[in-house]
Chain A
Amino acid sequence: QKEVEQNSGPLSVPEGAIASLNCTYSDRVSQSFFWYRQYSGKSPELIMSIYSNGDKEDGRFTAQLNKASQYVSLLIRDSQPSDSATYLCAVNPLGGDSGAGSYQLTFGKGTKLSVIP
């Protein structure tokens, strides 16, 4: 059974602080990793993807991947109240745009983030 584990939270951080969201996964062959943001009652929105060990930065967001530890994290710098949402970690056994097979994603339950003004 492939699993993706996230702390459900809620995680509360003050405005301007760094929010750190963590995710572990059980399927060692996983190659692609994604973070989605979901506002209440809305659809998941892709905010970051990462395929290689190390850090990947995009604006205020940094994704970190450690395949040996089967761990992926998302850092949000200078957190804003508008970042308050549920953050979903998702993994896939295939690499990036491999063009073959199923791109089935396994999701965690999500971590609810609350940024306090």
Chain B
Amino acid sequence: EAGVTQFPSHSVIEKGQTVTLRCDPISGHDNLYWYRRVMGKEIKFLLHFVKESKQDESGMPNNRFLAERTGGTYSTLKVQPAELEDSGVYFCASSQAGGGYTFGSGTRLTVV
């Protein structure tokens, strides 16, 4: 069984640019989550999809962040325009129901 796949693994962009992160969950997992870890801080929840619907987006920091999950398969997280404080590691995870997730390897975003 393939795991949760994220790409790119690394991205360096300039402040003001746009970046799109992609996540492919484990096949058959209806639940897809985005989390972020800023350096020195704990991993923090961004949002949760159930199939193509946003179940909980209470963790999205502001309207510069847009997440989509068209067709209930892969998801994208777009940051536009990127700011310095957006730097961190963005993790995607998926699960069949509640309980423990399977995480992807993350995308390390650096905004300069």
Contact = CB atoms under 8 A, between A and B. Distances in A.
Interface in A8-47: 32, 34, 36, 42-46
Given A92-B98, A97-B97, A102-B56, A108 B42 contact: yes
Interface of B: 31, 33, 35, 41-45, 48, 55-56, 58-59, 91, 95, 97-106
B108 to A, nearest CB: 9
Contacts of B98: 32, 92, 94-99, 103
Given A43-B105, A44-B91, A97 B42 contact: no
A4 B44 CA distance: 11
B42 A105 contact: no
Contacts of A46: 100-102
Given A92-B98, A96-B98, A97-B99, A107 B44 contact: yes
A73 to B, nearest CB: 17
Looking at chain A's contact residues, the main secondary structure is loop
B58 A107 contact: no
Interface residues of A, number: 28
Contacts of B91: 43-44
Contact of A109 (B41, B95, B102): B41
A104 interface: yes
Given A45-B103, A46-B102, A110 B95 contact: no
Nearest to B50: A102
